[in-house]
Structures are given as C-alpha cells and as structure tokens.
Amino acid sequence: GETFRSRSLDAGGDGGSGGKPEVPPLHDFLLSQTWTRLGEDYRNNCCRIIDVGLSLPARDDTYGHGRQRLELRDAYRLNVLPALVEFDPDIIFISAGFDAHRRDTMNFGYVGMIEEDFEWLTDQLLRVANTCCGGRVVSALEGGYKTHGGIVSPFARSVASHVRALVDGGRTRERYDEDEARWESSFENRLNEEKEKRRQMKLHRAA
C-alpha cells in the first residue's frame, strides 16, 4: 500500500481532570507531565521529538509570562517549523490542547499562553500544510479544562481561535516563509526589549 509521511503536533500540555487543585512545587508540576517520564529509548526510537524548553516564570510574573509567549513562538519559528518543512509531511495531525492557557488551572499558573498564541500557532501550521501537503490537516481536541463561563471561558475562546485560524488558513492558502518568520522573530524581540527597558526605567523611578 501507499506510505504516508505524517507529523503530529501537540498544541497544549498534558492534562488530567478539573477542579481547583493545590498549586504544587515546580518540580512536582514537571513530574506530572507525561513527556518528562519518557525514557531515552522511547524518545530516540518511537518518533522524532524536537525538545524545546521554555522558562517557567512565577505565577504572578506578568512580564515573565510575556517573555515565555515569545519563547514559544521562537521555538516554533526557529526550530519546529523549519524541521517540519524539511520533513515534508503528506498530512499534519494536530493534538489541539489548550491547558497551556494562563487561566487554565491544569498548568497551575506556570504557563501563560493566551488565545492569540493558539491562533498564531495554528496559522503557522496551516502555512506549512499549504506548503508541503496541499493544506491537509487533521485537528483533534485534546485538552483544556477551564470551561467555567461557557462560551466566554478560556477553553471556549481558545477553541474558537484555533478553529478560526483553521478556516482562514484553508481559505487564504498562505504558504510558509522562513525568511518572514525570522523577520517576525527579530521584530517581536526588539519590541520586547524596548518594553523591558521602559519597565526597568519605571521600576527605577519608583525605587
């Protein structure tokens, strides 16, 4: 039969059930994530895993979470997406999880993504799909547990952003451009540096 090259992308953290759990120490939180318990043999032989770590700022560190969001985008722009294009899949499967949202209790406040990040990431994956495999994408809902609030909950808003990007990417058929991604990274990092300078000046004046 015909062999297809596929790539699966996990758009969210690993999760469990809802409720309002106690906030664990960072070490315990990391051990609760499935990927930290995969052995070397599994990681090396089951599939290709691009392991890109993110900083985990304090839960109330607004600036740190903003920096973390930029790190996520750069992890995809500079590592994951170029490797995905090089792999040249016939279809892309997205494990669409949204428990990385900053208001989802599942990540205990250590991760600070917002709807805009999920929409951006989905758009980038659609661009790769349009470039490599005729736009063929399968997205399966995988996680997201902050459902309180119904259609205005973090979960619902994140899903809506993801679906909107799927629809837009399928309609526009925009293709992935690595040079554009690198320019975007440089521009966003420069804006972030200027923002940090203003923040530091404000802190200095208040001291």
Looking at the predicted structure, is the pLDDT value of residue 109 above 80? no
Q: What gap in Å lies between CA 69 and CA 55, rounded to an integer?
A: 10
How confident is the model at residue 53, as a pLDDT?
Answer: 77
> Is the four-CA dihedral 174, 178, 183, 184 of positive or negative sign?
positive
Where is pLDDT greater, at 73 or 52? Answer: 73
Where is pLDDT greater, at 149 or 77? Answer: 77
Report the first-to-last Cα separation within the chain, whole angstroms.
70
Cα angle value 111/115/118 (rounded, 5°): 80
6-18 in b/e form (b: 16+ CB < 10 A) is ebebbbbbbbeee
The CB-based long-range contact list for 178-185 (8 Å cut-off, 24+ gap) reads 178/81, 178/82, 178/85, 181/77, 181/78, 181/81, 181/124, 182/77, 182/78, 184/77, 185/73, 185/74, 185/77, 185/78
Percent of the chain with pLDDT over 90: 44
Q: Which helix (H) or strand (E) holds 94?
A: strand 91-97
Q: Could you tell me the pTM of the whole model?
A: 0.75
- Range with the poorest average pLDDT among 26-30, 93-97, 122-126, 181-185: 26-30
- Residue the block writes with tokens 């994951």: 80
